[in-house]
């Protein structure tokens, strides 16, 4: 209560100046430290990492985290990192990439966008960072919200998933995690499904994208690549490659 009361008394103009200063990175860094020192029961926003452990029980493996976000808080892959896994974390937001490099030193961090073709794309970074987007129409709408500020506008490199992902089969311990605010299907389409076949895919899917039969554009696309939805957390769907599910059933 006291902390909230003190925060409410700070003028908005001063809050914004602090967020635009180097002190903001320190604030975010300390927040990640606090979550690391006093870990919650799960790190994912809706306990995705708890479900993932059922299908990825190995003590080491590979993940490709597209739209990784913060390195610890809200991360689908940090629990795996603690277990000994390593991988590639991709995030176009500069602050997130910097924090990832600080806290996930065993991982490769790429400050780029993922899409079908190699090119560049306009990118708007907002505060809070969850509103950041590569969609100009969305950016224009976000700008009109008084509680959201544009921090940076830049050109970001785009690479297809096929140019980054290694060759792996469902029998290998591998996760593809995607959270890119509406561009999730484009990321999936940029993969070479004859080369990188992750055992598990965790991907953002809002309720309104699925009908009463729990089908969706993303679900239909992955079904055509032999994936079955095994869980939906209210925010993310988790798909597992069917041949791995069959091997589990024989145990």
Per residue in 168-196, pLDDT tens? 999 999 999 999 877 899 999 999 999 99
Residue keyed to tokens 């790190």:
43
Every domain of the chain and the residues it spans: 2-249
pTM recorded for the entire structure: 0.86
- pLDDT over 60 (residue 4): no
Which of 27-41, 111-125, 130-144, 187-201 shows the lowest per-residue confidence on average (mean pLDDT)? 130-144
CATH of 2-249, one of 3.40.605.10, 3.40.50.150, 3.10.180.10, 3.60.20.10: 3.40.50.150
């Amino acid at each position: 209560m006291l902390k909230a009361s003190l925060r409410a008394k700070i003028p908005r103009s001063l809050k914004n100046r602090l967020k635009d200063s180097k002190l903001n990175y320190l604030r975010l860094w300390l927040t990640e430290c606090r979550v690391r020192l006093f870990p919650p029961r799960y790190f994912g926003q809706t306990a995705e990492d708890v479900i993932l452990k059922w299908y990825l029980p190995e003590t080491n493996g590979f993940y490709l985290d597209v739209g990784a976000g913060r390195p610890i808080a809200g991360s689908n892959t940090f629990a795996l990192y603690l277990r000994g896994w390593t991988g590639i974390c991709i995030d176009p937001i500069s602050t997130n990439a910097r924090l990832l490099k600080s806290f996930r030193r065993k991982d490769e961090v790429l400050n780029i966008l993922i899409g079908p073709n190699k090119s560049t794309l306009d990118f708007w970074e907002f505060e809070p960072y969850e509103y950041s987007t590569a969609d100009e129409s969305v950016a224009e709408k976000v700008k009109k919200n008084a509680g959201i500020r544009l921090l940076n506008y830049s050109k970001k490199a785009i690479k297809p998933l096929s140019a980054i992902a290694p060759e792996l089969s469902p029998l290998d311990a591998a996760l593809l995690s995607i959270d890119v605010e509406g561009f999730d299907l484009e990321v999936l389409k940029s993969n070479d499904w004859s080369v990188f076949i992750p055992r598990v895919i965790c991907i953002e899917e809002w309720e309104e994208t699925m009908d009463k039969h729990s089908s969706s554009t993303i679900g239909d696309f992955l079904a055509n690549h032999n994936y079955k939805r095994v869980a939906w957390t209210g925010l993310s769907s988790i798909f597992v490659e069917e041949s791995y599910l069959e091997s589990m059933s024989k145990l």
